[in-house]
Structure 1
């Protein structure tokens, strides 16, 4: 079996290729909501709304939720559907 010599340059090239692949995977994942159930703080951050606005959406029945103990959870698929259903396209 022939022996291959690995140089520092080979290791650096491997490192850069590996980092690029990891970056691609992270970008792909960050574009998708990977969690099904989101906490209030996550929904506030995702929609760029205030806690009061989120509370209003809850009390008006605009945004359904589940409550376990003192924690409120929102289904990310329902949030995406509501956004899609209310999409306004300018003519």
Structure 2
């Protein structure tokens, strides 16, 4: 004999809220959540600043932009790039 269970609208709302909360926790706890990366590659920085590769190299040489090197790839902190833009705002 089958057991019949009635599900109310309130039960569905509660289930939905719990499910959404669990999904959000999973997304936020993942090492690479949906937010933008904190680090940018050279091409992304050049695009944001609308500068050439040589200009970016000069900014590195003169210490205007800090960077990190992993292998042969250069990475720049997103916050540093936007701080540079704010500092030079006229």
Deviations 1:40-81 (A, max 9, x none): 011111111000000000001000000011000000101111
Q: Under a length normalisation based on structure 2, what TM-score does the superposition of the two structures give?
A: 0.59
Match of 1:74 in 2: 76
Gaps of 5+ in 1: 1-32
Give the Cα–Cα distance (whole angstroms) in 1 for the partners of residues 56 and 73 of structure 2. Answer: 14
Give the Cα–Cα distance (whole angstroms) in 2 for the partners of residues 75 and 60 of structure 1. Answer: 17
Instruction: Answer with 1 or 2: which has the greater Rg.
Output: 2
CA RMSD of aligned residues (A): 1.3
Gaps of 5+ in 2: 1-34
Q: Please identify runs of 4+ aligned residues in structure 1 that moved more than 6 A.
A: none
Give the Cα–Cα distance (whole angstroms) in 2 for the partners of residues 86 and 36 of structure 1. Answer: 21
Q: 1:42 is paired with a residue of what secondary structure?
A: helix
Q: Under a length normalisation based on structure 1, what TM-score does the superposition of the two structures give?
A: 0.58
